[in-house]
Homo-oligomer: A and B are copies of this chain.
Amino acid sequence: MSWEDKVRKVEPYVPGEQPDAKDMIKLNTNECPYPPAPAVKDCLWSMDYDRMRLYPNPDVLPLRKALAQYHGLDTEQVFVGVGSDDVIDMAFLTFFNSDIPVLFPEISYSFYKVWAELYRIPYATKPLDKDFHIVPADYKNANGGIIFPNPNAPTGVLESVDTVEEIIAANPDSVVMIDEAYVDFAGEGASVLPLIDRYENLLVIRTFSKSRAMAGARIGYCMGSRKLISCLEAVKFSVNSYTMNTPAIEMGVVSVKDDAYFKEIIGRIVNTRERMKKELKALGFSMPDGKGNFVFAKHEKIPAKKIYTALRERNIFVRFFDTPLLNDRLRITVGTDEEADRLMAALKEIVEGA
The minimal Cβ–Cβ distance linking A257 to chain B, given in whole angstroms, is 16
Contacts of A49 in B (CB 8 A): 35-36, 40-41, 44-45
Contacts of A35 in B (CB 8 A): 49-50, 52-53
Contacts of A241 in B (CB 8 A): 13, 15, 85
Q: Are B245 and A18 in contact (CB under 8 A)?
A: no
Contacts of A234 in B (CB 8 A): 10, 12
Contacts of A1 in B (CB 8 A): 98, 173
Known: A3-B201, A46-B45, A95-B7. A52 touches B216 (CB 8 A): yes
Known: A10-B235, A40-B49. A218 touches B56 (CB 8 A): yes
The minimal Cβ–Cβ distance linking A113 to chain B, given in whole angstroms, is 10
A8 at interface by CB-CB < 8 Å: yes
Q: Which of A67-75, A114-122, A130-138, A271-279 contacts B (4 or more CB under 8 A)?
A: A114-122
| A contacts with B, residue count (CB < 8 A) | 87
A350 at interface by CB-CB < 8 Å: no
A326 at interface by CB-CB < 8 Å: no
Q: Are B145 and A6 in contact (CB under 8 A)?
A: yes
Within 8 A of B (CB), among A91-117: 93-98, 114-115, 117
Tell me the nearest residue of chain B to A84, going by C-beta: B240
Tell me the nearest residue of chain B to A42, going by C-beta: B49
The minimal Cβ–Cβ distance linking A311 to chain B, given in whole angstroms, is 19
A selection of 17 A-B contacts at a CB cut-off of 8 Å is: A3-B145, A3-B172, A3-B173, A6-B174, A13-B241, A33-B53, A35-B49, A36-B49, A44-B45, A44-B49, A52-B216, A52-B217, A55-B216, A56-B215, A82-B245, A85-B241, A86-B243
